Copies of this chain bind each other. A is one copy, B any other.
Amino acid sequence: MNKEFRKQESNTRGDGYLPGLAIDAVIFGFHDHQLKVLLLAYKNTGLYALPGGFIHDDEDVNQAARRVLLDRTGLTNIFLDQFYVFGDNSRYDPEPLKAIMLARGYEPPTDHWLLKRFVSVGYYALVDFTKAIPTPDAISDTCDWYGLESLPHLMQDHRQIIQKALETLQANLDQKLIGFNLLGDEFTMGELQSLYETVLNKKLIRAAFQRKILSLGILERVAKKFTGGAHKAPYLYRFIS
Give chain A's interface residues, CB within 8 Å of chain B: 18-21, 55, 57-62, 82, 84-85, 87-90, 117, 119, 121, 171, 175
Contact = CB atoms under 8 A, between A and B. Distances in A.
Contacts of A82: 84-85
A175 B170 CA distance: 13
Contacts of A85: 61, 82, 85, 121
Given A19-B19, A20-B21, A21-B20, A61 B84 contact: no
A87 B84 CA distance: 13
B55 A87 contact: yes
Contact of A87 (B20, B58, B61, B87): B61
Chain A contact residues, majority secondary structure: mixed
Number of copies: 2
15 contacts: A18-B117, A19-B19, A19-B20, A20-B20, A20-B21, A21-B21, A21-B119, A59-B89, A60-B89, A60-B90, A61-B88, A82-B85, A85-B121, A87-B121, A171-B175
Contacts of A18: 20, 117, 119
Contacts of A90: 60
Contacts of A117: 18, 57
Contact of A88 (B60, B84, B87, B171): B60
A58 B121 contact: no
B58 A89 contact: yes
A208 to B, nearest CB: 11
Q: Nearest 3 A-B pairs (CB), nearest first?
A: A61-B87, A19-B19, A60-B88
A20 B61 CA distance: 12
